[in-house]
Structure 1
Amino acid sequence: MRVFAIADLHLSRGFPKPMNVFGPLWEGHPQAVFSRWREVVQEDDLVIVAGDISWAMRLKEAMLDLEDLQQLPGTKVLLRGNHDYWWPSITRLRQILPAKMHALQNDSLLIGDLAIAGSRGWDTPGSYGFGEEDQKIYRRELERLELSLASTRSLAYQHLVVALHYPPYSASGGPTGFTELIDAYRPSCVVYGHLHGADPARLPQDWNGIPLHFVSADVLRFRPKLILEGAS
């Protein structure tokens, strides 16, 4: 099994919102997502979709986008992003997800010998405009990531991937509570998205030797990134 990752699909079949207003890289979206996904992902692969999946405001609208994802090859693991307002309780979401789709929240998944842990994340202290409400959300997301990672202790895995929507490091590239947890659990790699228009070459490529994969869809030209081979 190969493991891919992509974030920020911003699908909108049930809640139309053309993305080309955000720049020429979005021309041809979402058809580019679907066609380039099929170019690289096979049915026995796994794809981590690290947040901002759909512009929908309600679950009923988002289901159209989830059904489109379900038609694509591979098993999908979904993570909530800051724009996924449609995301209901995790119990309800898991009850209605199409086949071969999993949602991650406050716990972890074991698929073959691969464990996946993660959380949405948030802006970190020192970010521009970081205020009291941000501090509350930041602390809550740290707790969620810690719960998720702690749940992997009982799993018999060979590989561990940590998935976040926000970057784990600070705006200056320094340590945060998220990177402390990454240091403690030493996953095989970390994936994240959220940033748009950033130059991947200018972002941290690893955290203390742990690969960091920046997988926003527009940066990847809508082609999921291979992050791990050899999982079974």
Structure 2
Amino acid sequence: MRVFAIADLHLATVTPKPMTVFGPQWAGHPQAIFDRWREVVREGDLVLLPGDLSWAMRLPDALIDLAPVAALPGTKVMLRGNHDYWWPTLGKLRAALPPRLHAIQNDALRFGNVVVCGSRGWLTPGYEALNAEDERLLAREAERLSLSVQAAGKLRQPGDRLIMMLHYPPASPPYPTNPFLQVIEAARPDVIVYGHLHGVPAEKTMRHVAGIPAYMVAADGLKFTPRLVLEP
């Protein structure tokens, strides 16, 4: 099973929000995502969707955005981004999701020999100082990531690969230590994927975290083509 990843789909069917206001690179969105997805992803593949999937404010509206994603090739697994305001409780969400579209929140899922864990993440220390609210959210999200890693440990079988999804990057330049890095260093996943960054080519972003391959997969940075992050 091959594993692809693409974040920040920013779909807006019910309440249109043209993404070209954020730059000309968004021209042709979202059809470019769907077209290029079909070019590279096969039915037996797994596609990771680390957040900012829909601009909707309510779950019924988000489900309209997610329906064409669910219909694309492959099994998909998503987590919440900072703009996914529509995201309800996990039980309610899982009950409403169409087939082949899965969600992670404080837990983990296993697909074949791949275990997927993750959390939204938050701002991390770097160029800019964090305020008290940022520090609180950073600690909370690190705890949620730790819970997800623990759940992954219970699912993981010998020979399984562990993939960690984050919406926010796990560290910020000049990359001082932070609670996410501590969880990552203890968990030692095989691959990390993250999104959130816009207008930044993937080749100019952080490629390793604690020696672990890391992939920035925000849609515009990938020119809207899902990125292959793990092969059998």
TM-score (norm 2): 0.96
- Counterparts in 2 of 1:87-98, with a 5 A limit? 87-98=87-98
Cα distance in 1, alignment partners of residues 101 and 156 from structure 2: 21
Once the 2 structures are TM-superposed, how far is the Cα of residue 44 of structure 1 from its aligned partner?
A: 0.9
- CA distances 1:139-196 after superposition (whole Å, capped 9, x unpaired): 1101100000011222233100000000001342232211111111111110000011
**Which residue in the other structure is 2:106 paired with?**
106
- Counterparts in 2 of 1:129-208, with a 5 A limit? 130-157=130-157, 158-208=160-210
**Which residue in the other structure is 1:14 paired with?**
14
Deviation >4 Å, runs of 4+: none
**Does structure 1 residue 85 correspond to structure 2 residue 56?**
no
Cα distance in 2, alignment partners of residues 120 and 171 from structure 1: 19
SS of residue in 2 equivalent to 1:110: strand
Once the 2 structures are TM-superposed, how far is the Cα of residue 197 of structure 1 from its aligned partner?
A: 1.5
- Counterparts in 2 of 1:28-39, with a 5 A limit? 28-39=28-39
Task: Assess if the C-alpha contact under 8 Å between 1:50 and 1:191 holds in 2.
Answer: yes
SS of residue in 2 equivalent to 1:218: helix
- Extract unaligned runs of 5+ from structure 2: none
**Which residue in the other structure is 2:65 paired with?**
65
**Which residue in the other structure is 2:54 paired with?**
54
Q: Quote the RMSD (CA, aligned, Å).
A: 1.2
Once the 2 structures are TM-superposed, how far is the Cα of residue 126 of structure 1 from its aligned partner?
A: 4.2
**Which residue in the other structure is 1:223 paired with?**
225
In the alignment, residue 44 of structure 2 is paired with which amino acid? D
Cα distance in 1, alignment partners of residues 3 and 201 from structure 2: 23
Task: Assess if the C-alpha contact under 8 Å between 1:5 and 1:226 holds in 2.
Answer: yes
Task: Assess if the C-alpha contact under 8 Å between 2:206 and 2:216 holds in 1.
Answer: no
Once the 2 structures are TM-superposed, how far is the Cα of residue 66 of structure 1 from its aligned partner?
A: 1.0
In the alignment, residue 23 of structure 2 is paired with which amino acid? G
Aligned residues: 230
Cα distance in 2, alignment partners of residues 127 and 61 from structure 1: 37
